[in-house]
């Protein structure tokens, strides 16, 4: 059994390292709640390559992304959007549809049911990395699952078939 730990994150480099560590831990599921797909955190080839491998490794793997706003980053290009377009059965992007969820100001990455990144203030890069704490992570995953149910497919990230 892995040892539970909580690490305080201060600054962009701490947050970037935490994302890389979490993605490497994922074996079956990644759930991401983000404001604008934070390109400085998630638009990196190594992150998307690892998530692509995860999505292809098992037909039960899934990557769910709740993004409040994708229009700007979609126009600039983002590897997570490309990944969702290529692997639509395993990678999905949705928009929150309730005012409470649209105003949610934290950013989360939950891996499987045991570890998570919580950025309390994405503009200041402050948060925590919670490793191997199933009780805490399952509570957050319950909230995420309800948010997912109260979301809709993001039309800005869909591939147009002509």
What pLDDT was estimated at residue 160? 47
pTM of the model: 0.91
Domains within the chain, CATH numbers bracketed:
5-156 (3.30.870.10)
What pLDDT was estimated at residue 162? 42
Decide if pLDDT at 159 tops 80. no
Instruction: Average the pLDDT over 2-11 and give the result.
Output: 92
* Per-residue pLDDT tens over the stretch 73-129: 655 778 898 999 899 899 999 999 888 888 888 899 999 999 999 999 878 899 999
* Per-residue pLDDT tens over the stretch 18-51: 999 999 999 999 999 998 888 889 999 999 999 9
Q: Could you tell me if 81 and 89 are in contact, meaning their C-beta atoms sit under 8 angstroms apart?
A: no
């Amino acid at each position: 059994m892995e040892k539970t730990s909580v690490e305080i994150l201060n600054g962009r480099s701490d947050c970037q390292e935490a994302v890389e560590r979490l993605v490497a831990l994922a074996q079956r599921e990644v759930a991401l709640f983000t404001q604008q797909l934070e390109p400085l955190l998630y638009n990196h080839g190594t992150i998307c390559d690892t998530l692509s491998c995860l999505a292809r490794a098992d037909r039960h793997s899934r990557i769910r992304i709740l993004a409040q706003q994708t229009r700007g980053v979609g126009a600039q290009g983002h590897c997570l959007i490309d990944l969702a377009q290529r692997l639509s059965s395993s990678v999905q992007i949705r928009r929150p549809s309730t005012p409470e969820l649209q105003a949610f100001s934290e950013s989360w990455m939950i891996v499987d049911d045991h570890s998570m990144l919580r950025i309390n203030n994405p503009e200041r890069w402050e948060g925590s990395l919670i490793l191997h704490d199933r009780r805490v992570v399952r509570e957050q995953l319950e909230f995420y699952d309800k948010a997912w149910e109260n979301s809709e497919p993001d039309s800005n990230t869909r591939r147009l078939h002509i």
